[in-house]
Amino acid sequence: MPDRFLSSMIISYKGRNILVDCGEGTQVAMRKAHTGFKATDIICITHFHGDHIFGLPGLLLTIGNSGRIEPITIIGPIGLRDILDAFLTSIPYLPYDINLIEDPKVGLGFKIFGNVLQVRDKNSYAEDEIIISTLDLEHSSPCLGYSFYIPRRPKFLPEKAIEYGIPKEKWSILQSGKAIVYKGNTYRPSQMLGKKRRGIKLSYITDTRPIDEIVGFIEESNFFVCEGTYGDSGDIEKAIENKHMTFREAAELAFKGKVDRLLLTHFSPAMEDPNTYIKHAKTIFENTIIGYDGYTEVLSYE
């Protein structure tokens, strides 16, 4: 649409970027938002309908032209390898490798290795910086929902360290997560830590019917991005037939999942101004935002 590009999201974390979906024109939107291309470490694809992937070949080429040589991780549902092979016939050379993860069934822990967000080796003991989880959705094509979780370490309790008689100069070692040996005794960081703290959770659900499994998957997200293909609750028949959702249905998920805030996106081109229908969502879930091009949000630890 002239004033509305296709739905896509970019997460910026410590200068590294994770892109979710890449419809036609996503690289134009990225240019407008000054995200850059070189730091695109992970691309998550929800499904293979054109409005979610037709921008991928062009973007991969642009990332190549940005001087990137580090590998990129691409995650997507079953069939990802075939789609990518087809796209790559028109891009015979890319200066970086692609690490493909098709239909992951377990959460993937990522950490910055060599300045790039890469999936953690099972044998490495490093703590995960971002955990990406997926959920099978109900759409007219295999489709994945995503959640992104940034864990937060528990607080270091100096009073505990004092209790154990550990000198101050040793505290930073414990704080960094390593055990120390002092006067013949081993002390573990877990002995000096407070209770668990809430990390940052962001979830992204599109395209799908509002299946029950979504509620647990998005639970207590700080920010929940969800499709609202139809604004008018009267369009429910169309939503069921085309395996999409109305604003009301998305708001019900947000309410049941006890999220902090809901951002609606993926509007039908037939809907000229989605704001007209916001009350269909707000009567169910007050903290609803109608997404628009370039919408930016900063999420921090509480």
| Stretch touching Zn ion by CB under 5 A, among 44-52, 61-69, 110-118, 149-157 | 44-52
* 41 makes contact with Zn ion (CB under 5 A): no
User: Angle at which helices 80-88 and 56-65 pack, to 10 degrees?
Assistant: 60
Determine the length of the chain: 302
Report in angstroms how near the CB of residue 51 gets to Zn ion at its nearest. 4
Shortest Cβ contact with Zn ion: which residue?
49
CB of 1 to Zn ion, least distance (A): 14
Residue 51 makes contact with Zn ion by CB under 5 A: yes
**Which residue blocks in the chain are alpha helix, DSSP H?**
26-32, 50-53, 56-65, 80-88, 158-163, 171-175, 213-218, 236-241, 247-256, 278-282
Q: Distance between CA 293 and CA 301 in Å, rounded? A: 25
Q: Which residue, 49 or 160, has its beta carbon nearer to Zn ion?
A: 49
- CB-wise, 161 or 271, nearer to Zn ion? 271
Closest of 208, 82, 75, 211 to residue 141, by C-alpha: 208
Q: Least distance from C-beta 126 to Zn ion, angstroms?
A: 36
Q: In the numeric block, which tokens belong to residue 267?
A: 């509007």
Those residues whose C-beta lies under 8 Å from the C-beta of residue 287, and which sit 6 or more positions away, are 254, 260, 261, 262
Per-residue x/- track, 118-157, Zn ion (CB under 5 A): ----------------------------------------
DSSP state of 22: -
Nearer to Zn ion, 242 or 287 (CB): 242
- # binding residues, Zn ion (CB under 5 A): 3
- Least CB distance from residue 283 to Zn ion, whole Å? 25
49 lies in the binding site for Zn ion (CB under 5 A): yes
- Active site members: 51
Rounded Cα gap, residues 285 and 112, in angstroms: 36
The stretch near Zn ion (CB under 5 A) out of 45-53, 179-187, 234-242, 273-281 is 45-53
**Tokens of residue 63, six digits:** 């990332």
Closer residue to Zn ion, CB minimum distance, 49 or 238 = 49
> For residues 41 and 207, which CB has a smaller minimum distance to Zn ion in the complex?
207
List the interface residues with Zn ion, window 198-257 (CB under 5 A): 207
Q: Which residue has the tokens 């896509």?
A: 8
> Closest by alpha carbon to 6, among 26, 27, 35, 28?
26
- Rounded Cα distance, 197 and 92, in Å: 47
- Minimum CB distance to Zn ion, residue 229 (Å): 8
Q: What string marks each residue from 88 to 107 as x (binds Zn ion by CB under 5 A) or -?
A: --------------------
Residue 279 makes contact with Zn ion by CB under 5 A: no
- Strands across the sheet with 9-13, in order? 9-13, 16-20, 40-44, 72-76, 98-102
Q: Which is nearer to Zn ion, 51 or 232 (CB)?
A: 51
111 touches Zn ion by CB under 5 A: no
Q: What type of residue is 154?
A: P
- Give the footprint of Zn ion on this chain (CB under 5 A): 49, 51, 207
